[in-house]
């Protein structure tokens, strides 16, 4: 195999590694991916009937406070000035999220000053002092009324489990803003790629020393590659080892796409549905991600309903469940990974961590700096260390 490095997976982590190694280190890189497209879950494409860009695997919103990541991303795309805002429907009324002063005033039906709102939430949160499950933890943070309205039903649908049966550590904090600021993210940089995610990802892979093979399962090549060529593996960690220690638990998402005969279905990009009797968790309306695109049709729109459930072996894993059993399995897999000299494990699936896009890029840049560059320029041993945590 006439390459210097093999990267398994063409998501943001894998392509960042490939691009840096080709452009900065002068390496020949082979990128393989089981799917028929690059980009992992960030892949976007035009919906055929309307031409509206959809995110095939659910809405992806780029945001970061890491200036290195922002500078790196801007090498391949320009960003719009989009700022993400989310609303939630509960019992037939709509509220802004995350919970802020506007949410509180609307839900409780009166005007609050910031100090009055803080006092109210603190009083209601005092109901629970020693939380033992997710429900009690949430109540201890924001009080029962806000929990019942915005967290309970949504969480039950997300996890397909009663929140009283979920561990408290799943929710470490629930932000409440005591201002009317309803921006969803707090990061200093935010926007959407002007030409879409796929164009951005294709530019990252557009290098004469990068070869991309789609529809190719790395595990079919593993015996010919591992031990002969350095590898960066971004697929599921448990699958790499043939599920020898059992399966790591994930939640997955199902999507239901529909073209609606109207120019605007819900007036906002994302609407959450907090009522437990509504089967989906949220609806995306993709035209609102790019209001600057005046060529979208005025009489049609595309919506995507999102449903959450536990992942089976053949499903696309999205969010690590991270139970105590999962953490025990993960430690055993990391021990196995340390024995795989010449193989680095990274990305969301390879580390069993949920990584936003900017986090995946930052982690990949660190892997290049700390592992791959010393190996290829100084001859340092390429020891896995388990996973790139």
Active centre residues (catalytic): 173, 177, 251, 282, 306, 354, 356
Distances in whole angstroms, Cα of residue 278 to Cα of each of 95, 125, 157, 311, 357? 16, 27, 9, 21, 29
Half-sphere exposure of 53 (CA within 13 A, CB side): 21
CB neighbours (10 Å) of residue 174? 18
Instruction: Tell me 193's DSSP state.
Output: B
The neighbouring-strand residues paired with 214 are 33
Structural tokens at position 21:
């190694």
DSSP, collapsed to helix, strand or coil, labels residue 363 as helix
- What span, in angstroms and rounded, lies between the C-alpha atoms of 274 and 330? 32
- What span, in angstroms and rounded, lies between the C-alpha atoms of 185 and 163? 25
Sheet architecture: strand order including 282-285 = 93-97, 86-90, 270-273, 282-285, 301-310, 250-260, 319-320
Structural tokens at position 292:
């600057």
Burial 6-20 (b: 16+ CB within 10 A, else e): bbbbbbbbbbbbbbb
Distances in whole angstroms, Cα of residue 290 to Cα of each of 74, 203, 295, 314, 345? 18, 20, 11, 33, 35
- Cα three-residue angle 321-322-326, rounded to 5 degrees: 115
Which of 109, 162, 67 has the alpha carbon at shortest distance from 362?
Answer: 67
- What span, in angstroms and rounded, lies between the C-alpha atoms of 379 and 375? 5
Backbone CA torsion sign across 335, 337, 340, 342 = negative
């Amino acid at each position: 195999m006439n390459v210097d490095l093999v990267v398994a997976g063409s998501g943001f982590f894998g392509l960042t590694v490939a691009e840096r190694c080709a452009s900065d280190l002068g390496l020949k890189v082979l990128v393989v991916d089981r799917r028929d497209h690059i980009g992992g879950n960030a892949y976007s494409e035009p919906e055929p009937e309307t031409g509206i860009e959809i995110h095939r695997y659910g809405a992806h919103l780029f945001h970061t406070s890491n200036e290195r990541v922002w500078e790196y991303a801007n090498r391949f795309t320009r960003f719009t000035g989009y700022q993400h805002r989310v609303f939630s429907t509960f019992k037939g009324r709509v509220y802004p999220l995350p919970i802020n002063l506007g949410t509180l005033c609307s839900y409780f039906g009166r005007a609050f000053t910031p100090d009055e709102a803080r006092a109210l939430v603190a009083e209601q949160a005092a109901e629970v002092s020693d939380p033992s499950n997710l429900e009690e933890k949430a109540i201890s943070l924001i009080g029962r009324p806000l929990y019942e309205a915005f967290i309970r039903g949504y969480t039950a649908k997300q996890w397909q489990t009663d929140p009283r049966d979920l561990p408290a550590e799943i929710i470490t904090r629930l932000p409440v803003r005591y201002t009317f600021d309803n921006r969803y993210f707090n990061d200093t940089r935010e926007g959407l790629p002007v030409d879409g995610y796929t164009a951005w990802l294709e530019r990252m892979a557009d290098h004469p020393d990068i070869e991309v093979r789609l529809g190719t399962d790395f595990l079919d090549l593993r015996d010919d590659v591992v031990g002969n060529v350095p590898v960066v593996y971004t697929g599921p960690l448990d699958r790499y080892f043939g599920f020898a220690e059992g399966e790591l638990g994930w939640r997955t998402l199902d999507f239901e796409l529909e073209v609606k005969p109207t120019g605007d279905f819900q007036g906002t990009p994302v609407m959450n549905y907090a009522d437990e009797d509504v089967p989906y968790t949220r609806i995306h309306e993709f035209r609102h991600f790019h209001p600057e695109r005046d060529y979208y049709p005025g009489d049609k729109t595309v919506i995507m309903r999102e449903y959450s459930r536990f992942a089976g072996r053949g499903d696309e894993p999205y969010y690590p469940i991270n139970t105590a059993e999962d953490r025990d399995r993960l430690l055993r897999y990391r021990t196995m990974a340390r024995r795989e000299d010449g193989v680095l494990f990274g990305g969301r699936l390879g580390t069993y961590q949920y990584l936003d896009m900017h986090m995946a890029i930052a982690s990949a840049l660190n892997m290049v700096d700390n592992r791959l560059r010393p190996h290829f320029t100084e001859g340092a041993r390429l020891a896995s260390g388990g996973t790139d945590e």
